[in-house]
Every structure is written in structure tokens, then in C-alpha cells.
Amino acid sequence: MTSYLKVKPYRNPKLLKLAKDAPCSLCGSIGTTVSAHSNYSEHGKGMGKKAEDCYIAFLCYQCHMEIDQGAESYDAKKERWYKGMAKTYHWLLTSEHLIINPLAGCNIEYKDLNVNYRD
């Protein structure tokens, strides 16, 4: 019999709340930005289950709606979402909300988020 460890999904409300002060990672607009979770199973998305909070893109209402319900192909929407996620993490790093400390051996600290991740 194969045993699989159940891992609790990563959740961080403080990380999600940072979106309200961030620009949309796709169009740059400010004011309606939210943390848009991944819609992809490789990030833990499933029937009635959100992806983990580390798989987010800061998107405005319009961009979020286009990716979730737009007419673009699945592949085109996925490519846009990945671009948004990359730009979100760039914003988190350059605004110093996410700090990577190379001297701590793969230690990643989220400033003011009470998170400390070690590889």
C-alpha cells in the first residue's frame, strides 16, 4: 500500500492583502487589484479548491475577469496569468515586501508577513 503525505496548503492572508496597494501586474492600473489565484491543477487547483496562496498574480478586476472568463484560448490565458505571476513577484521583491537572504542558505523572508521559508 502506498502512503501519501497530506500537506496543508500554504495560506497567507497578509500576502494576499498586499494586492490592494499594488498595480495590476498586466495593465498597471491601480484601485481594483486583487490576488488572483492560479486556475491550474499543477498549483493545487481542484474542484472546489483554490490554489495555494503562493500561486497568485496581482490583477485588476478587468484582467482577472478576462483570464477567468474571457474568450481567449486556454493557452493564451495561462500564458498571461504566468506573466502576471512573474511580474507580481518582481513587484514583491523590488518593493521589498519579499526579501531573499542569500547568506541564510535559501532563506526567504516575507517582510511583515510572519513567514520564514527554508528549503
pTM: 0.80
Q: How far is CA 39 from CA 2, 47, 56, 57, 80, in A?
A: 28, 10, 10, 11, 12
* CA nearest to 58, candidates 8, 99, 7, 93: 93
**Are 9 and 44 within 8 A, CB to CB?**
yes
Which three cell numbers, joined as nine digits, stand for 48? Answer: 472546489
Question: Which is nearest to 108 in space by CA: 5, 9, 12?
Answer: 12
Q: Where are the domains of the chain?
A: 13-41+48-118
pLDDT at res. 59: 98
SS3 content of the chain, % helix, strand, coil (to 5): 40, 20, 45
23-76: pLDDT as tens digits: 999 999 999 999 999 999 888 888 888 999 999 999 999 999 999 999 999 999
Specify whether domain 13-41+48-118 bears CATH 3.30.50.20: yes
Sorting pLDDT into bands at 50, 70 and 90, what band is 9? confident
pLDDT band at residue 89 under the 50/70/90 scheme: very high
